[in-house]
Amino acid sequence: MAGTQGKASLVPDGEAMGFDPALRRKFAAGIEAGLLRDLHVVLAARSGQVFLEHYGTGPDVDWGTPLGEIAFDADTLHDLRSVTKSVVGLLYGIALDRGLVPSLDASLYGQFPEYDDLAKDPARAGITIGHALTMTLGTDWDENRPYNDPLNSEIAMENAADRYRFVLERPIVAEPGTRWIYSGGSVALVGAIIERGTGKRLPDFAQEVLFGPLDIAKFNWSAGHDGVASAASGLRLTAPDLLKIGRLVIEKGIWNGQRIVSEDWVAQSLAPAISIEDGLGYGRLWFSGDAPAPAFADPRPWYAGFGNGGQRLWLMPDAGIVAVVYSGKYNFWDAWITPTRVWREIILANFLKA
């Protein structure tokens, strides 16, 4: 993969914000040593103030379409890939707060009456919207294959004549609510329910209720051959704008004194609904775990949106820290390594004083 030379900065009062004054030097040394590879952007803030900023250069793609070599900056749109799912989770909460979509215990298949043949299956009767939001549908789905493999279930869904039937008719392999199976298909259904309930396309609803209030003026939402915006992976945002979404969550749904999403929805979204691999948890389209920092006596919880290629939105509410990482290692199995090092070994390891 190409290099990530660029600029990095630590705001002058970073030390006063509780960070080791050597944080910037350690970050730059990690890039120079090849331990932090394929980074496009790193942007991190505490209590709304940026303390680490890096914009690199490297090859990029737009939902699989090559863009060539890009010099990234604060105005560059970037694929979020599956971090999109976490944004869609917030949109469902906003729609629910407004009474536009059903409660989480409502029947999932009941929202798609055109597939009455599937809804009549007794084995599917207990599947709810809540199961879709926590990826515990109990239906077969395979996203372990690379995303350039047509047998990858998300790619197969995008290629299907009817994306929703493709998702809803997957074979049942577990009791709903008992097993986490990573599924872009489940989020496609969530996106459809938002659109049906609001009467708006997903990007238009997002602009009205989330992006507009956060002063996010520039975004793109990729759509499939059927014109449906991908709720699973299609959103592109600049790093400062994704940072705003993280700050909204850290602030429990409030932005500049305005309530955007209910505090209860934010809390329930982050709370682990089920345990998954590697000791992590999964809530309503958000990952969770815990990690140490010198500022705390014990490890503290973090929450995150994860995306293919090393895209990350990290949150540690106890520290007031939000971090965005954009990377270019799409479809590589080890794409998780660099963003995790940035989070744990650069940001948290150098957070000295709460």
pLDDT at 11 over 70: no
pLDDT, residue 15, reads 81
pLDDT, residue 97, reads 97
Is residue 148 located within the same domain as residue 111? yes
Give 204's pLDDT tier (boundaries 50, 70, 90): very high
156, part of any domain: yes
Contact 14, 62 (CB under 8 A): no
Is residue 43 located within the same domain as residue 90? no
CATH code of residue 343:
3.40.710.10
Range of the domain at 192: 86-198
Structure confidence by residue, pLDDT tens digits, 303-325: 999 999 999 999 999 999 999 99
153, part of any domain: yes
41, part of any domain: yes
The average pLDDT across 61-66 equals 95
pLDDT at 8 over 80: no
171, part of any domain: yes
123, part of any domain: yes
pLDDT at 1 over 60: no
Could you tell me the pTM of the whole model?
A: 0.96
Could you say which of 178, 198, 218 is where a domain stops? 198
- DSSP secondary structure of 54-74: EE-EEEEEETTEEEEEEE--T
Structure confidence by residue, pLDDT tens digits, 136-188: 999 999 999 988 899 999 999 999 999 999 999 999 999 999 999 999 999 99
Could you say which of 153, 173, 198 is where a domain stops? 198
Is residue 189 located within the same domain as residue 119? yes
pLDDT, residue 10, reads 46
- Domain count along the chain: 2
pLDDT, residue 16, reads 76
- DSSP secondary structure of 284-330: SS-EEEEE--TTSSS-EEEEEEEETTTEEEEEEGGGTEEEEEEE--T
Give 3's pLDDT tier (boundaries 50, 70, 90): very low
259, part of any domain: yes
Is residue 98 located within the same domain as residue 48? no
260, part of any domain: yes
The average pLDDT across 327-350 equals 97
pLDDT, residue 6, reads 59
Is residue 114 located within the same domain as residue 183? yes
CB burial of 159-197 (b: ≥16 within 10 Å; e: otherwise) equals ebeebbebbbebeeeeebbeebbbbbbbbbbbbbbbbeb
Is residue 248 located within the same domain as residue 286? yes
